[in-house]
Amino acid sequence: MSEAMNDSMSRRDLLKTSGKIAAASALAGVVIPQHVHAAENNTIKVALIGCGGRGTGAAQNALSTSSGPIKLVAMADVFESKLKHSHQSIKNAFGDKVDVPEDRKFIGFDGYKKAMDCLNPGDIAILTTPPAFRWVQFTYAIQKDLNVFMEKPTTVDGPSTRKMLALAEESVKKNLKVGVGLMCRHCKARGELFQRIRNGEIGDVLMLRGYRMAGPTAHAFCGPKPKEMSELMYQIQEFHAFLWASGGAFSDFLIHNIDEMCWMKDAWPVEARASGGRHFRGDNIDQNFDSYSTEYTFADGTKMYMDGRLIEGCQNEFASYVHGSKAAAVISHSGHAPSKCRIFKDQKMNKDNVAWAFPPPEPNPYQLEWDHLVAAIRENKPYNEAKRGAEASLVTSMGRMAAHTGQIIKYEDILNSEHEFAPDVDKLTLDGPAPILASADGKYPVPQPGLNKTREY
């Protein structure tokens, strides 16, 4: 698009005059297929691919945006019950904004294609299936000239990260808008804290600390597979338990703390060392450790510590902190939102020693990330988080690999690793084999630090 066109005509203007398809195609630099009709209004259509709790929440946030008309028109999942429950929940809350008849509800591994085929260039595909499928579905979205919201993590290993980084470049070339579900980056309180750190209010950043320590969470632990269920469908249902599907508990649960700390440092770490272990396993057959302790190192030598634990009866904490040469600060406190960001007068972190605190109430970052994405689409502003999302996912995997192998893992080590957990994930079928198979006793391979030094299992 020329500078003159960009200055004189916003995407909203294009949508109103030439129709959404013509506008999106012009922005993407593609030819409009003859059979595609131009829309007569600026309604953005949305397809939800992955109808679990996070996907349902993302769709609700999408429909809650107020910058113009938006409608959910298609849904896809491999579990019919999840799709049905998600549809009912969203329909009850948003009424006419949900237009998903039975012939636009798709079950199966090819459902994502059918759902995206219901959209026009410039519409939005929500990708909230287990992370292993992210690069496969993002590839098709780019081919269809669709804007995308994808959940974190976006990659689970080195090979999938390399694929995602290449796809990110392609999506930028097409001027597609891409949001990644690291919503803490959209938090106004954290944003102000970041600026205050950059302005020197806590001095030089010397150390960062993150904690996500709780009892068993989501599907991190799972028992033996039910006899009536296929191995593949069980692994997808319990995706937090399997490294190929999600990167495991480390990647799925710790990425937010890791990402927000890296934001405050304004850098990615260059290496990681870590430890962890499995305790009180009983008949659980997942691949996770239930405690992780990770030390990341940045290029300037600054350390960042991330502790994760999923054990009942222990001290719990869900927070991130940053320590500077002058003072300490809270990045997040008791979960993702509200963050309760604050800076202290020195290193003593108590309520009587606060120098600054973001005033409540804090806007919901889950909604803000959607407001920002949709506004960028309507106003044709540069907006693409795909590269940063892949980098955050890779840094998280770097810490996980350090724990699972017992080795110091550098950024280049994990990026260039050849161990792809599910190389044929794009070829899976409902009745086909799973990427990882159980042994005769129903157990799956688990990390063995020191024994497997280049692979996680």
On average, the pLDDT of the chain sits at 92
Q: What is the pLDDT of residues 229-287, one digit of tens each?
A: 999 999 999 999 999 999 999 999 999 999 999 999 999 999 999 999 999 888 999 99
Length of the chain in residues, anyone? 457
Select from 114, 111, 47 the least CA-distant residue to 79: 111
Contacts for 444 with CB less than 8 Å, ≥ 6 apart: 242, 285, 286, 287, 436, 438, 457
Q: What is the pLDDT of residues 171-208, one digit of tens each?
A: 999 999 999 999 999 999 999 999 999 999 999 999 99
pLDDT at 281: 82
Same fold, 3-183+369-384 and 185-363+393-427: no
DSSP 180-239: ES-GGGG-HHHHHHHHHHHTTTT-SEEEEEEEEEES--TTSS--PPPTTS-HHHHHHHTG
DSSP 261-283: HHHHHTS--SEEEEEEE--S-TT
CATH superfamily of 3-183+369-384: NAD(P)-binding Rossmann-like Domain (3.40.50.720)
Residue with tokens 């995602």: 164
- Tell me the pLDDT band of 41, cut-offs 50, 70 and 90: confident
Q: Indicate the DSSP class of residue 16.
A: H
The pTM for the full model equals 0.90
pLDDT at 26: 33
Buried b (16+ CB within 10 A) or exposed e, 348-370: eeeeeeeebebeeebebbbbbbb
Q: Is the pLDDT of residue 5 over 80?
A: no
Contacts for 158 with CB less than 8 Å, ≥ 6 apart: 394, 397, 414, 415, 416, 417, 418, 419, 420
The correct CATH number of 185-363+393-427 out of 3.30.9.10, 3.40.50.1820, 3.30.360.10, 3.30.2350.10 is 3.30.360.10
Structural domain spans, the chain: 3-183+369-384, 185-363+393-427
Q: What is the pLDDT of residues 135-182, one digit of tens each?
A: 999 999 999 999 999 999 999 999 999 999 999 999 999 999 999 999
> Which tokens belong to 355?
């120098």
CB neighbourhood size of 80 (10 A): 12
Q: Which amino acid is at 202?
A: I
Q: Is the pLDDT of residue 15 over 70?
A: no
Q: Indicate the DSSP class of residue 47.
A: E
